[in-house]
């Protein structure tokens, strides 16, 4: 685990602390596999049976594609919701920008949609995604993330673990010298 560094807390809207900037949680590919299995089991044990998966690009693509394969779901869509201004750790955030990547659906009537993303940070991305899908007539919605920030305003239905600091996923560049 990275060393603890002395830095101030990062504050977001309404004084919600998202990151302590004390440590990085580094998730490797083996750990990701364990997370996927945990989420798969949670879905199987729930009353929710997805018929459609919508992945939020880019972070949710691996989770969404993995769940689509595990549950043999071929009805798969990708949306982009951009909020971070950069790929740097503790990136400044902006107003969300939404667009469909592929394919653009006409509606989700009679579909039980599972939304997949890597992390529920403050919850804004998942809140926007579910609002868009409701407006397109989704019969039911479930949300799955690998990680939930403990101060997220959005509570995903399925998740592997909760954190209080920044997560480095296996598909991201490695952290420099293990410190934030």
Q: Look at residue 81 and tell me if it is in a domain.
A: yes
Q: Look at residue 15 and tell me if it is in a domain.
A: no
Residue 92 is encoded by which pair of tokens?
Answer: 């400044």
Q: Look at residue 6 and tell me if it is in a domain.
A: no
Q: Is pLDDT at 10 greater than 50 in this prediction?
A: no
178 SS3 class: helix
Q: How many domains does the chain have?
A: 1
Q: Look at residue 116 and tell me if it is in a domain.
A: yes
Distance in angstroms (rounded) separating the CA atoms of residues 143 and 58: 16
Q: Look at residue 7 and tell me if it is in a domain.
A: no
Q: Look at residue 110 and tell me if it is in a domain.
A: yes
CATH of the domain at 121: 3.40.50.2020
> 86-139, pLDDT tens digit by residue?
556 555 656 677 889 978 888 999 999 999 999 998 898 999 999 999 999 999
Domain hosting 114: range is 31-85+94-171
pTM for the full predicted model? 0.81
Separation of CA 17 from chain center:
18
Residue 26 C-beta-side C-alpha neighbours within 13 Å: 13
Mean pLDDT of 59-66: 97
Residue 170 is encoded by which pair of tokens?
Answer: 């296996």
Mean pLDDT of 148-175: 89
Query: Which of 19-23, 42-46, 122-126 is predicted with the least confidence, judged by mean pLDDT?
Result: 19-23
Q: Look at residue 79 and tell me if it is in a domain.
A: yes
Q: To the nearest whole percent, how much of the chain has pLDDT over 70? A: 77
- Residue among 114, 111, 119 nearest 46 (CA): 114
Residue 96 is encoded by which pair of tokens?
Answer: 């969300």
């Amino acid at each position: 685990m990275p060393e603890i560094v002395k830095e101030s807390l990062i504050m977001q809207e309404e004084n919600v602390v998202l990151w302590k900037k004390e440590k990085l949680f580094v998730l490797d590919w083996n750990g990701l596999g364990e997370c996927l299995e945990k989420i798969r089991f949670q879905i199987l044990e729930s009353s929710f049976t997805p018929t459609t998966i919508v992945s939020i690009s880019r972070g949710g693509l691996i989770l969404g594609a993995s769940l689509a394969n595990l549950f043999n779901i071929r009805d798969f869509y990708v949306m982009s919701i951009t909020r971070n201004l950069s790929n740097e750790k503790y990136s400044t955030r902006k107003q969300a920008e939404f667009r469909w990547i592929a394919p653009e659906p006409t509606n989700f009537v009679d579909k039980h949609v599972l939304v997949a993303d890597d992390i529920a940070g403050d919850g804004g991305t998942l809140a926007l995604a579910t609002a868009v899908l409701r407006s397109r007539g989704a019969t039911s919605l479930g949300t799955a993330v690998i990680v939930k920030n403990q101060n997220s305003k959005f509570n995903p239905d399925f998740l592997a673990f909760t954190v209080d600091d920044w997560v480095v996923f296996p598909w991201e560049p490695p952290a420099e010298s293990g410190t934030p």
